[in-house]
Structure 1
């Protein structure tokens, strides 16, 4: 199975369109105290948007995998979609870990 440069470029272009992040791209660049820019300018809306984008990336990876298994998909699209989903999931897990660590630190503070 030979993979040409044009096939790779086309798959990369499709992946960019399908997995482009949507959080922090609103026209108003209002920021909250934490400095996170999102739909409402709050940390909660940014996290909600990240989780939604991650879910979409995972669905896209599943769809591409199913197409490949059925013989209708391109292997490059599958690998790109899985890579994007893995990166998005790693990002969400890292943010979750940071939030849990911050909460633990706050709970240890003396009043």
Structure 2
């Protein structure tokens, strides 16, 4: 999977718009909540999107849902999951870069 700079910036903007994490002020020592809470909120949001897609699919199978709602919910869940996977890949790559650094 390839993640462009604009895709990463757009994903980060979506996360910030949900209020998951607030950037630190110039003199501040730490970000409120930090990276761990950012990742936790991303995973929680992805899980919520997947549950919504699953319930929309179940409603459609039962004949009570609309196909457009199912497709929209599945698309949102897919995008949330791809964002989480992209962030995970970037974190793993950064960790590997750090581990390759000479002391």
TM-score, structure 2 length as denominator? 0.73
Asked whether 1:48 is paired with 2:40, we answer yes
Cα displacement string for residues 23-74 of structure 1 (whole angstroms, at most 9, x for unaligned residues): 4344x944289xxxx8x34111111100000000000000000000000001
Matched, 1:79 2:71: yes
Q: Is the radius of gyration larger for structure 1 or structure 2? A: 1
Q: How many residue pairs end up in the alignment?
A: 84
Give the CA RMSD over aligned residues: 2.4
Which of the pair is proportionally richer in helix?
A: 2
The answer for the alignment partner of 1:31 in structure 2 is 24
Structure 2 portions without partners, runs of 5+: 1-13
Q: Which runs of 4+ in 1 moved over 4 A?
A: none
